[in-house]
A and B are shown apart, each in its own frame.
Chain A
Amino acid sequence: MRIDKTHQSWAVVSAIILGVAILLYFPYAVLYPGGPSGNTWPGLIYGIIGYAMMLFAGLMGARKRVPLWRVGRAQVWMRGHLWLGALSLPILLLHSAFTARGPLTILLMTLLVITVLSGITGALLQHFLPKRLTASVQLETIYEQIPEVREQLLSEAGGIVEALCAVPEAESAVVAAGAAFGAGGPAADEDAGPELTDDQRANLQQVYKHEIFPFLLNPEKSGSPLADVVRSKAFFEALRRQSPVSIHEALGDLESICEEERQLIEQRRKYLLLHGWLLVHVPLSITLLVLGGIHALVAIHY
């Protein structure tokens, strides 16, 4: 979610709440006998408000799980999650008088700080990354479909090379392979069938076997020159110079497949950044809510 002008009212309300909470804290901290702490009435009120904010932020997860619930718009929930979740940190710092001395309270404060910081990190990533993703990955696909798309790209490249390297008597097979993706393949044009010598055919097979196939099979680990735009371009230029003009279009298709693969790599990298922080944020925030509830119950008991 982009943090834009639509967040203005939330930002203003949050700033007012924080300002009032801080203003009230000063006389409380100075005048309250024994000093401020979580077990005084003012401290307890700060704690209740802070925990309520955390609960609201946490309920967004429940709201997502049941999208049919008509309890406010999803955008309102998200804005509330962002602003009230962030606000819970200073409010709970006021609750604890900026200290945490007991084992559980130290754990809670650590969880709270990490949760809020990871949330802020996530909000910044969600603000900046999608635009950059759109700009750098034009061939974006559904993230969860990337493995399947990769398989299809590998199959498509294999078909092209197989068609190119087929012996002339087997031109019908070339046509079939070329039709694997698109309305027609490089060998579909019957007037411009591959005219490769045995050496060129062997060379193309070697190039495919040792460079293109490993890259497409395992794109993020191959260390292939095809993973880099410049080196890939140079690679295919060299390949074209070694090949007859009649197969340049097919080589262009192979290059296009490699380009799409590189974009999938980029998409996956950015996706991990966009969503990887949730591996910290979500488990810790749920743990925080559970332990916070226990802390509240025990604190009320004693």
Chain B
Amino acid sequence: MARIRNTKKLGQRVNRTYLKRVYPIPQWRRILTFVFIAASLAWLGFHAVAHDQTPYTAGPLTAQHAFLGKKCAVCHGENVSIGKRVADPQCAACHDGPIHQASQTFNPACISCHVEHRGTMRLAGTADSGCVQCHGNLQTQTGKLTIAASVKSFDSHPEFGSVVSGKDASGLKFNHQKHIGEVGQKCADCHTPAEGAKGAPHSHVSPRAFMTLPTYEGTCMPCHALTIDDKIADPLPHKKQPDELHPMVEEQFRKYIAAHPGDLGKDGTPAASGAWVAFKVAAAEKKLQDETCARCHAVVAGADFASAVIVPPQVPSRWYTKASFDHSAHKELTCISCHVKAPKSTVSSDILVPGIAVCRDCHSSGSSSAGSNCSTCHIYHDWTKEKPVDGKYMIEQMTRSTAPHSMTTPPAVLTPAQLQ
């Protein structure tokens, strides 16, 4: 007779106490839960015992702040409150961030621009949103604006001020085309990086960021010596006005004829010494006024040469006065790839610094472009107004793995007992 599997028979097989037993899967679930929680708490407890708060960090600190990583309270303070942020005094305890503009209506918190816990990054390389919160719709205390009212990105950045002016008003006459094309000079023959970076607004700018102003003595004199006569080798000094040059010219001819009396009366010159000197001085000064000086400078004529005025040129040492362009960061480029107009420029009134369109060839908002953040070119803090910071802390206060110490109320000096 075949096996019978009716409900009654099946029911008899069941051990009715089975619900009271603990079976493998639920048991292992409990064991694993206990193990995971215990391991996690042990990990946190180990760090707590060592007074190391590293596990709770929101991310690695920048290299400059990394040594503070074990003590949250050094920057965050001790007071508990929801949504509390690192306050400006915590930053100012070590860094004096000079004001941006005296006329600004809003002073953002340090941390709104300088975001920490993002690992190895340049803390000064702030996000555009920090700048746009004001420059997106710029307001000033005076109500007057000297720059664009709304800039939200490099794409909406206006043309550079130097380019907008449309004319180089330095007053210096210079023909780039002649020097580059006919003479065959190279840009670097006259323009060299400035060692020491005079005018650099902050130390992070490369010491070779800026170009020096070409000087007469350094670049022009080898070809354009200020000689007054073929027979007199000594040139006149540069940067002198005609009233200063006139006695020098007279002196040079007086000395020459005294040494060479045989030249009196030659080539239609007067035979008397005094008249010879006067004749030669008049010819030389006319040449100076009409050719030699006037080749590069504007000369305002007077009753005679001595009363004329040579207009000193006002060549700017920096063309991008509100930005910090760094030539050394662009050294892989040829000069004319940016200064496109230079080889064809015949007059010095041409603006030869590149406009924003040239920059945008590489610096745009696309992912494959060079950076175009505000901080790529601009610096928020006016570091010329930087004040010294008085140190307030002992090394142990900032680094030692003891209970966190609030930097808002540091002791003046730690006693040996405290250091223990």
Also in contact, A249 and B1, with CB within 8 A (given A33-B113, A34-B130, A182-B9):
yes
A103 adjacent to B57 (CB under 8 Å): yes
Assess whether A38 is interfacial by the CB under 8 Å rule. Answer: yes
Closest to A34 in B: B115
A282 vs B28: C-alpha distance when bound (angstroms): 10
Interface residues of A in 110-162 (CB under 8 A from B): 139, 141-142, 144-145, 148-149, 152, 156
Question: Does any Cβ of A come within 8 Å of B108's Cβ?
Answer: yes
Chain A residues near B33 (CB, 8 Å)?
A: 282-283, 286-287
Q: Is the CB of A102 within 8 A of B44?
A: no
Please state if A33 and B108 are interface contacts (CB–CB under 8 Å): yes
A98 part of interface (Cβ distance < 8 Å): no
B interface residue count range (under 10 / 10 to 19 / 20 to 34 / 35 or more): 35 or more
Q: Does A185 contact B (CB under 8 A)?
A: yes
- Asked whether any CB of chain B lies closer than 8 Å to the CB of A59, the reply is no
Least distance between A135 CB and chain B CB atoms (Å): 18
Cβ of B119 under 8 Å from chain A:
yes
Task: Flag B155-179 by CB within 8 Å of A: 1 or 0 each.
Answer: 0000000000000000000000000
Contacts of A188 in B (CB 8 A): 1
Indicate if B419 sits at the interface (CB-CB under 8 A). no
Given contacts A252-B2, A253-B2, A279-B29, contact A102 B37 (CB under 8 A): no
Query: A249 to B56, Cβ gap below 8 A?
Result: no
| Residues of chain A from 236 to 261 with CB closer than 8 A to chain B in the complex | 249, 252-253, 256-257
**Could you tell me the distance in whole angstroms from the C-beta of A287 to the nearest C-beta in chain B?**
4
Q: Find A185's partner among B1, B13, B85, B113 (CB 8 Å cutoff).
A: B1
Q: Which of B21, B35, B58 contacts A39 (CB 8 A)?
A: B58
Q: How far is the CA of A156 from the CA of B4 in the complex (A)?
A: 12
Pick the contact of A142: B18, B59, B73, B81 (CB < 8 A): B18
Instruction: Determine if B60 is an interface residue (Cβ-Cβ < 8 Å).
Output: yes
B13, B21, B80: the one contacting A149 at CB < 8 Å is B13
> Is A32 touching B129 in the complex (CB atoms < 8 A)?
yes
Q: Which one of A1-9, A225-233, A293-301 contacts B? A: A293-301
Q: Which of A30, A144, A182 contacts B18 (CB 8 A)?
A: A144
Q: Would you call B205 an interface residue if the criterion is a C-beta within 8 Å of the partner chain's C-beta atoms?
A: no
| Chain B contacts for A283, CB-based, 8 A | 29, 32-33, 35-37
Determine whether B117 belongs to the interface, using a CB cutoff of 8 Å to chain A: yes
Contact B4 A102, beta carbon cutoff 8 Å = no
Q: Which residues of B contact A253 (CB under 8 A)?
A: 2-3
Give the distance in Å from the alpha carbon of A132 to the alpha carbon of B15 in the complex: 27
How many Å lie between the Cα of A181 and that of B60 in the bound state?
70
CA distance A35 to B133 in the complex (A): 12
Decide if A69 is an interface residue (CB 8 Å cutoff): no
Interface centre among A34, A145, A178, A294 (most CB of B within 10 A): A34
- B25, A278: Cβ atoms closer than 8 Å: yes
The one of B15, B25, B76, B111 that contacts A145, using a Cβ cutoff of 8 Å: B15
Instruction: List residues 226-278 of chain B with CB under 8 A from any CB of chain A.
Output: none
Number of A-B contacts (CB under 8 A): 142
**Option from B25, B60, B72, B82 in Cβ contact (under 8 Å) with A275:** B25
**Interfacial residues of chain B within 22-55, with CB under 8 A of chain A in the complex:** 23, 25, 28-29, 32-33, 35-37, 40-41, 44, 54-55
Chain B proximity mask over A153-190: 1 for CB below 8 Å, otherwise 0: 00010000000000000000000001001111110110
Chain A residues near B29 (CB-CB < 8 A): 278-279, 282-283
A44 near B: Cβ within 8 Å? Answer: yes
Chain A, residues 83-127, CB within 8 Å of chain B (1/0): the string is: 000000000000000010111110100000000000000000000
Q: Which of A142, A256, A290, A300 contacts B3 (CB 8 A)?
A: A256
- Contact, CB under 8 Å: B3 / A103: no
Are A101's CB and B59's CB within 8 A? Answer: yes
Residues of A contacting B76 in the complex (Cβ-Cβ under 8 angstroms): 302
Q: Decide if A291 is an interface residue (CB 8 Å cutoff).
A: yes
For residue B127, CB closer than 8 A to chain A, the reply is yes
Most chain B beta-carbon contacts within 10 A, residue among A275, A276, A287: A287
Interchain CA distance A104-B117 in the complex, whole Å: 13
CB <8 Å contact, B14 and A142: yes
Q: Is A37 an interface residue (CB 8 A)?
A: yes
With an 8 A cutoff between CB atoms, is A41 at the interface?
yes
For residue A33, which residue of chain B has the nearest CB? B112
Q: How far is the CB of B284 from chain A (nearest CB, A)?
A: 67
Q: Which of B4, B44, B84, B130 contacts A294 (CB 8 A)?
A: B44
**Could you tell me the distance in whole angstroms from the C-beta of B135 to the nearest C-beta in chain A?**
12
The contact of A189 among B1, B37, B129, by CB within 8 Å, is: B1
List residues of chain B with CB within 8 A of the CB of A256.
Answer: 2-3
Cβ-defined contact, A102 with B55, below 8 A: yes
- A selection of 24 A-B contacts at a CB cut-off of 8 Å is A33-B133, A37-B115, A44-B83, A101-B117, A101-B118, A102-B56, A102-B58, A104-B44, A104-B57, A141-B14, A142-B14, A145-B14, A145-B15, A156-B3, A182-B4, A186-B1, A275-B25, A279-B29, A283-B32, A284-B36, A286-B37, A287-B36, A291-B40, A301-B80
CB-CB nearest 3 A-B residue pairs: A101-B59, A283-B32, A182-B4
A278-B25, A279-B25 are known contacts; what are 18 more A-B pairs with Cβ within 8 Å?
Answer: A39-B58, A101-B118, A107-B40, A142-B18, A144-B21, A144-B23, A156-B3, A181-B4, A182-B1, A185-B1, A256-B3, A272-B25, A279-B28, A279-B32, A283-B35, A286-B33, A287-B36, A302-B73
